[in-house]
Chain A
Amino acid sequence: MRAMPTIAGPLGLAVMAMGSHASSPLAGQSSELVAELGATWSLPPIDVEGGAAGFFVTGLRASRWGLGGSGLHASLLVGRSMDEVDAGDVLSGEAGGEAWRDIGGGWSSGVRGRAFGLRVDAPIEQRSYGVEGAVLLRWRAPAFRASVRATGGAGQSRLSVEIPPSDRDGPTRTRERTDDLWRYGTEVELLWGDGPVLAGVRGGIDEGADGTYSRGGVQLLATAWLGVVEVHLDQWDTPAGAETTGGLAFHVPAGGWSARGVAGRPDPDPLLRDERGRGVGGVLVGRRILGGGADPATRSGRAHLHTVLDETPEGARVRIELPVETGAATVTVLGDFTLWEEVRMERRGDRWSVELDIPAGTHHYGFMVDDEWYVPEDAPDAVPDEWGRRSLILVAGAGGEVR
């Protein structure tokens, strides 16, 4: 069995950074800057002696997610080893984003990109960085969604380790290894479900600098008032052999606070050639410094999307507004009061807006954003419909007292 210093701890950091956008398509619109503090740890590879390596971690995470899953994110984490003898400081950062465009018939096309960097100071000095881009095609039906993506990327990984002298007077040697890494490949993902739980299968194949990576697996995504949880299990065939990966990731916002974490065995990454441990884990607690938005946990900051301008027993004149978000080219409102035909909303400053005369009654309504049904996660007075979506409720002609 090999005996080498455990360096897998930083991988936990990398996973945490990369997980920052995992929940974005389900999280609704939001814009925030969050300061985070926590810990991450990892187990060494199967054939390596040693215990778990842990790091105290702190950093910043910024994100801006709009309608339809478009948005940007960035995170920067620094960590200090819990065991100063075993490892030094680490730095992990990632920035990326995606943009989607509706192309009709339930189809959307998108682009996604990210850049990442990882730096470890000791005991093995490591510098890894890379950029990656993908072109995506997505099809959504009421209880099914499919996506296919083609990905390409390049990066570099440099490892440097000091080798102690073989005798007391001998020189200390440094062994360095630099790998130019690249990948290209494709992945298909199928998800079923129309409510808070989505289940799916996925598979893909990548060519990397060191050979072929193929995978197949299952995943489960759940959104509830607690937040977002993702569980996955994958079987891989890599240049290093066959292996199984899996784990759990969660993101739980609660007011201005949030908690996110990962646990499991990380996926191989052709752009992050590394000695992957038996498992990694970590938990970060965050406090929002700036921004806000969708918050499925607490429904805090909920604001009505309609304002009654004038009201009589026969009905009301109502202004309906929706905040402008990234990527929304067209927004319409529709509901009982339009017999479910779309009414264009006009962009006025930072909002989409329309004024309507609405007959007295209890009405359901919502929005079409770039041709997709949309009700903000944090909107008040929303009711689930019979098909797993939500509609807003508007009571017109309610100007009087409750008698």
Chain B
Amino acid sequence: MKIRSSGFLVLALFASLATAAASSASGLAAQDPPGAAAGTEAGEQPDPRAQAQRVLSPEVFQRVDVEATALERSGIPAAILYRKALEGAAKRVPDDRLVPGVLQYAERLRAARTALAADPLAPVAVDVPLLVAGADALQRGVSPELLGRLGQDGGERTPVSVLVLADLVETGIGDDRALGLVREAVLARTREQRMLEIPAEVRRLLRQGRSPTDATEELRRALRRRGGGGAVDRGGA
């Protein structure tokens, strides 16, 4: 069969589209926010509540303020909720959806605190980064029960260990195996930046055809063998 495709049409179209794409510059005007400019020191940030009052509509701010105050009375810093409201505003969520989302997040923070407090070894004071990581983990499919088990039987929970646990669960690793792997990393005193790479290692092994059981076991063995270095051989037998 002779191929006589309309090659010049293809080329012409590519050329015209390239021109169109190149000329598509738009003038989005980003602000240089106080305390966080590119390549500069962060400096002092404005108070989240003051920022929320400035950015949100009065009605929305009032409802968020009421909930944040209630949250603070229960021991969870109100600033977390003002930040969530600012997040919604930045993402241009309409007011009628923004408030329910903020209230939903407040509930998840409470659920995370309950789950984390289920551990008798958990500190009494609220660890904000841990609490936020816990709320994220619940949102990503980690059960409150699993979140509670993370701190049991040795090993203190950290935001990173919660984050890694959530990532493993989201990848499809079963609860027990994910928990076992995170605990192994904790016991091996794995550096946190190294620990953050564990889910990627697991996914790489899965892509190479390992079962979730084999992948997690291989990582556990590597963690034991290397005392926290944790990396399996790149070639992956």
Residues of A within 8 A of B (CB): 70, 72, 74, 76, 78, 88-89, 91, 93, 95-103, 106, 111, 113-115, 117, 119, 121, 129, 131, 141-143, 255, 298-300, 302, 304, 308, 315, 326-327, 329-330, 332, 334, 336-346, 354-362, 364, 368, 370-371, 373, 380-381, 383-387, 389, 391, 393, 395, 397-403
Kindly provide the distance from the CB of B223 to the nearest chain A CB, expressed in whole angstroms: 11
Q: Which residues in A have their C-beta under 8 angstroms from that of B158? A: 398, 402-403
Interface string of B96-117 (1 = CB under 8 A from A): 0110111011000000000000
Smallest Cβ distance from A181 to chain B, in angstroms?
14
Interchain CB contact under 8 A, B1 and A91: yes
Residues on the B chain within 8 Å of A329, using CB: 24-28
Check: B125 CB closer than 8 A to any chain A CB. no
Known: A115-B6, A142-B91. 9 other contacts (CB 8 A): A78-B1, A117-B9, A354-B38, A361-B159, A373-B92, A393-B133, A399-B191, A401-B191, A402-B195
Whether the pair A357, B42 counts as a contact (CB closer than 8 A) is: yes
Could you name 13 residue pairs across A and B whose Cβ atoms are closer than 8 Å? A91-B3, A97-B14, A99-B21, A142-B92, A302-B203, A339-B83, A340-B83, A346-B38, A361-B129, A362-B129, A362-B159, A383-B136, A395-B129
* CB <8 Å contact, A326 and B26: no
- Shortest distance from the beta carbon of B230 to any chain A beta carbon, whole Å: 11
Inter-chain CA distance A341–B195, complex, in Å, is: 30
Q: Bound state CA distance, A313 and B116, in angstroms?
A: 22
B200 and A302 within 8 A (CB): yes
Expressed in whole angstroms, the Cα–Cα distance for A51 and B37 within the complex equals 67
Shortest distance between the CB of B80 and any CB in chain A (Å): 9
Q: Contacting A337 at CB < 8 Å: which of B40, B42, B93?
A: B42
Do A100 and B38 have beta carbons less than 8 Å apart?
Answer: no
Closest 7 A/B residue pairs (Cβ): A341-B33, A386-B101, A357-B42, A340-B90, A89-B1, A330-B28, A342-B30
Considering the chains assembled together, what is the distance between the CA atoms of A200 and B215 in angstroms? 42
Do residues A368 and B42 form an inter-chain contact, with CB atoms below 8 A? no
Given the complex of chains A and B, what is the CA–CA distance between A72 and B20 in angstroms? 12
Q: Which of A114, A300, A383 has the most chain B CB atoms closer than 10 A to its own CB?
A: A383
With a cutoff of 8 Å between Cβ atoms, the chain A residues found around residue B195 in the complex are 402
The closest CB in chain A to the CB of B16 belongs to A113
B207/A300 in contact, CB under 8 A = yes
Are A360 and B129 closer than 8 Å at their CB atoms? Answer: yes
> B102–A386 contact, CB under 8 A?
yes
B5 touches A364 (CB 8 A): no
- Per-residue interface assignment for chain B, residues 33 to 54, with 1 indicating a CB less than 8 Å from any chain A CB and 0 otherwise: 1111111111001101001000
B192 contacts A401, CB within 8 Å? yes
Q: Roughly how many angstroms separate A95 CA and B140 CA in the complex, as a whole number? A: 39
Q: Which residues of A contact B186 (CB under 8 A)?
A: 402-403
